[in-house]
């Protein structure tokens, strides 16, 4: 069993103009400069734009040229394969594979995130689709985030283990039917933790600014750092921890605080 894995901490997305006002980026930072500034803060970033539009190799190549050469990436799968599933999704999956090629070639892709909506329940049809999707996306390293509680079953975890797909651990509000905050390891190569904040009142508001407007307390971060993350770390060779509460730069400050809790003697984002 692996021990003392390398854990990379960062945020979900980096291109937030509000982070300039929050003091995360210098004044007058242009959008094309944000990733370079970000790469001086953290060792990993989760790409959000690939959820909204298809990943393109030329765009990824330009992005790599504009940041620190050590920055690692996770990337969300495009929504037409998760939320608005298109009839030609196999063609889109192959196009996504081509788009990720520069990250794969440079060994800077930690995982592709298959984030599924709360409406994607565990049904025979959805189980079949997900299995076909995983097969089509090979050889990408995959992680899946379920939002509906129906997927929290040992048979699901066994299936993910057999496929080498990482089950994403989540921190979110304790609302009915949401997937629970587990620390189940299905892939010893990687654990993947996403912290969305616990804004119960804003979670289903329809506004991302309200949904992800949350500032974790030290006590809440210690709920993960004291035992849960160390157990996950002991079971995997690599770990990635990403904060999604981007409003007002709270994700950045919470990520830095968690890094300090996990490794008090160093302010490093790679602990």
With CA atoms as reference, report the closest residue to 181 among 152, 150, 218, 222.
152
**Terminal CA-CA length for the chain:** 19
Q: Please name the residue that has the structure tokens 């390891």.
A: 185
Q: Which pLDDT score is estimated for 130? A: 98
Tokens 């003697």 found at: 265
Number of helices and strands (H, E) in the chain?
Answer: 11, 8
Rounded-to-integer distance, Cα 165 and Cα 216, Å: 28
CA–CA separation, 13 vs 9, rounded Å? 12
Residues whose CB is less than 8 angstroms from the CB of residue 83 and which lie 6 or more positions away in sequence, other chains included:
116, 117
Grouping H, G, I as helix, E, B as strand and the rest as coil, residue 86 is coil
Q: Specify the pTM.
A: 0.94
Q: Is the peptide bond before 139 cis (omega within 30 degrees of 0)?
A: yes
- Give the pLDDT confidence score for residue 1 in this predicted structure: 38
- Which pLDDT tens digit goes with each residue over 119-168? 999 999 999 999 999 999 999 999 999 999 999 999 999 999 999 999 99
CA dist., res. 43 & res. 170, Å (int): 20
- Pseudo-torsion of CA 126, 127, 131, 136, nearest 10°? 0
* 59 DSSP β-pair partners: none
pLDDT value of position 2: 41
Distance between CA atoms of residues 171 and 187, nearest Å: 19
97-106, 107-116, 207-216: range with lowest mean pLDDT: 207-216
Q: What is the pLDDT of residue 211?
A: 87
Please give the average per-residue pLDDT across 32-40, as a whole number.
96
In Å, how far from its chain's centre is CA 86? 23
Query: Does residue 266 carry a pLDDT above 80?
Result: no
Please tell me the predicted confidence (pLDDT) of residue 269.
58
Residue ranges of domains in the chain: 10-262
Burial class (CB in 10 A: 0-12, 13-18, 19+), 59: middle
**Cα-trace Rg, the chain:** 18
Task: Please write down the long-range contacts of 210-213, taking CB distance under 8 Å and 24 or more positions apart.
Answer: 212/244, 212/245, 212/246, 212/247, 213/245, 213/247, 213/248, 213/250
The class (CATH top level) of 10-262 is alpha beta
Q: Read off the pLDDT of each residue in 173-194 and give the average, rounded to a whole number.
A: 96
Instruction: Report pLDDT for 160.
Output: 98
- Summarised one tens digit per residue, pLDDT across range 3-34 is 456 999 999 999 999 999 999 999 999 999 99
Instruction: Give Cα separations from 176 to 51, 149, 162 (angstroms).
Output: 26, 8, 29
Place 202 in a pLDDT band, splitting at 50, 70 and 90. Answer: confident
Give dist(CA 88, CA 173) in Å, integer: 34
The arithmetic mean of pLDDT across residues 159-182, rounded, is: 96
The share of the chain scoring above pLDDT 90, in percent, equals: 89
Rounded Cα distance between 194 and 147, Å, is 12
> What does the block give as tokens for 19?
């982070």
pLDDT mean over 60-79 = 96
Q: What percent of the chain has pLDDT over 70?
A: 96
């Amino acid at each position: 069993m692996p021990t003392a894995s390398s854990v990379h901490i960062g945020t979900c997305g980096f291109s937030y103009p509000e982070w300039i006002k929050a003091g995360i980026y210098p004044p007058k930072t242009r959008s094309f400069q944000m990733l370079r500034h970000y790469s001086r803060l953290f060792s990993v970033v989760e790409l959000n734009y690939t959820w909204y539009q298809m990943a393109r190799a030329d765009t990824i190549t330009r992005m790599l040229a504009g940041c620190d050469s050590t920055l690692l990436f996770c990337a969300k799968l495009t929504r037409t394969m998760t939320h608005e599933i298109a009839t030609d999704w196999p063609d889109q999956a192959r196009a996504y594979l081509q788009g990720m090629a520069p990250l794969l070639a440079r060994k800077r892709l930690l995982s592709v995130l298959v984030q599924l909506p709360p409406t994607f329940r565990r049904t025979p049809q959805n189980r079949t689709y997900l299995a076909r999707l995983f097969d089509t996306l090979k050889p990408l390293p995959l992680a899946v985030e379920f939002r509906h509680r129906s997927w929290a079953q040992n048979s699901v975890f066994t299936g993910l283990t057999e496929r080498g797909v990482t089950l994403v651990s989540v921190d979110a509000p304790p609302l009915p039917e949401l997937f629970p905050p587990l620390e189940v390891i299905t892939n010893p190569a990687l654990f993947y933790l996403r912290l969305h904040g616990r804004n119960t009142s804003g979670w289903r508001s329809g506004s991302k600014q309200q949904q992800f407007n949350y500032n974790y307390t030290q006590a809440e971060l210690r709920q993960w750092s004291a035992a849960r993350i160390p157990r996950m770390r002991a079971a995997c060779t690599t770990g990635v921890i990403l904060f999604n509460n981007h409003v007002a730069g709270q994700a950045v400050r919470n990520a830095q605080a968690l890094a300090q809790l996990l490794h008090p003697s160093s302010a490093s984002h790679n602990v």
